[in-house]
Structures are given as structure tokens and as C-alpha cells.
Amino acid sequence: MDRNLENLEKKLGIKFKDKDLLRTALVHRSYINEHKDFALDQNERLEFLGDAVLELVVTMHLFNNYKDDEGVLTNWRSSLVNGDRLSEQSERLGVYDFMYLSRGEAKDNNPKARSYILANVFESIVGAIYLDQGYDPSKKFIEDNLLIHLPKIIEDKAYIDSKSMFQERAQEFIGVTPRYKVLAESGPDHNKKFIVGVYLEKELVAQGEGYSKQEAQSNAADEGLKVKKWSK
């Protein structure tokens, strides 16, 4: 783990006045369980704050720049601040290498668990920036790392999830509602992997893998859109 915070500050584009705020943002609760005498708290309170700041900044941006109705704006906001996107941004910034994790958590190769941790730490970093720098630097960080993706989300209709899009296309083009079936599952209960097929009547259109049935269904629908050339 890289604990040189200057390296992380460069990646974030923020120089913290209080370095302990940034450190706290990086402390996973599993680390505190192993290090009871650690001087700092875990990051969940900062995550709670960051979630609210994130939602406010994104909501104000949408409200000020788009005249669409509430339902559309809500979908766009959800696509911007969902766990997968926050995780991707944390991954891109290399935040995981700076985190305080328990030995077990650090060795866990479950991508779902890692993604969850990375999504949460993005929010805790936003909370830390807000406390250390105030609203405007927090807003700029969110603009630079999330809001820049909004035009492409709108253009690609990425705010519509794959399952909804596949069902909409299937009903529009062939008048059939897709169904999903688990084709295989493997691994221990705490890290089970599913393979799901998406069918149009008796035709197996595509398969998807995931660490939950929902994730596998979504991936199958995504593949189905490509197979049928019904892409977003």
C-alpha cells in the first residue's frame, strides 16, 4: 500500500490542509477491527457526508443546465452516482492502493467486494474535500470526475439499464418479452458466480456472468443487445 498522501493528492488534484481528513477517508472499518489503537476513525461518517454533497452537486448541475422533467433528470443522476460509476472513478484515480484495509480485505480477490469498497471511498473522499476545502472545490472535483461523463451517458442512453432496454427492443421489434434462466452456478456461497441465459421464446440469445443473478441478467441483456444489434 502506498501511504504517501502527496501522490494521492496529485491524482485527486487537491492539496489538503488537514491531511488526517484524507487519511480518515481511506480507512475501511475492517482496518479498525484489526488496529484498535489506530488514531483515526473509519471512513463511514465521511461517506455519509460525501453522499449528500455528491447528490446536491449533481442535482444542481442537472437543474441548472437541463429543462427535462423530473423522471429524466432522476435517471441521469442515478446513472452518474451509481456504485459502478463511482467505483470506476476510484479505480481510475488509483485510490485502492492508498487505503487502510485489514489483511483479509486486502487479499480478497472478489471484484464485487472491491467495487463496493471503491464506490464508498469515492464518497468519503468527497466528504473529506468538503470539510477541508468547502463547497466549490468539492463541486470542481465532482465535475472533473463525474459530470464530464454526462453528455456521453445521454448520447448513449446509458441511463437506461440493459434489461429494460432489451425488453423494450424485444417487445417493439418482435412482440416478445425476454425471460432469464440460470444456466450454471459455481463457487462458495459467499462468492458464488452465476451464468444466466436470456431467451426470446425458445431462442437462447446470449449469456452473461455475474456475482449475483441480477448482475448476470444485466450482462446477458447487454450481450443480447449486441447480438441482435439493438444496442443503445
Same domain, 81 and 186: no
CA distances for 96 relative to 12, 35, 100, 181, angstroms: 13, 19, 9, 35
Range of the domain at 183: 162-227
pLDDT at position 57, please?
98
What confidence tier does 53 reach under pLDDT thresholds 50, 70, 90? very high
Q: How confident is the model over 151-168, as a mean pLDDT? A: 86
What confidence tier does 89 reach under pLDDT thresholds 50, 70, 90? very high
Q: Is 105 a catalytic residue?
A: no
Q: Is 123 a catalytic residue?
A: yes
Q: How confident is the model over 151-171, as a mean pLDDT? A: 87
Indicate if the pLDDT at residue 190 is higher than 80: no
pLDDT at position 205, please?
97
Indicate if the pLDDT at residue 44 is higher than 80: yes
| Domain end (from 100, 131, 156) | 156
Which residues, other chains included, contact 34 with Cβ-Cβ below 8 Å and sequence gap of 6+? Answer: 102, 103
Choosing from 51, 88, 105, 132, which is the catalytic residue?
Answer: 51
Count of domains observed in the chain: 2
Q: For position 103, which CATH number holds?
A: 1.10.1520.10
Contact 82, 10 (CB under 8 A): no
Helices (H), 70-174: 70-81, 83-93, 103-107, 111-133, 135-145, 150-156, 162-173
Indicate if the pLDDT at residue 1 is higher than 60: no
Same domain, 94 and 197: no
Choosing from 47, 88, 123, 223, which is the catalytic residue?
Answer: 123
52 Rama class: left (phi>0) / alpha (psi -120 to 50) / beta: alpha
Q: What's the residue count for the chain? A: 232
Same domain, 141 and 168: no
* pTM for the structure as a whole: 0.76
CA distances for 106 relative to 11, 30, 111, angstroms: 21, 10, 12
Indicate if the pLDDT at residue 232 is higher than 60: no
Same domain, 172 and 121: no
| Domain end (from 156, 179, 201) | 156
Indicate if the pLDDT at residue 2 is higher than 70: no
What confidence tier does 131 reach under pLDDT thresholds 50, 70, 90? very high
Same domain, 60 and 144: yes
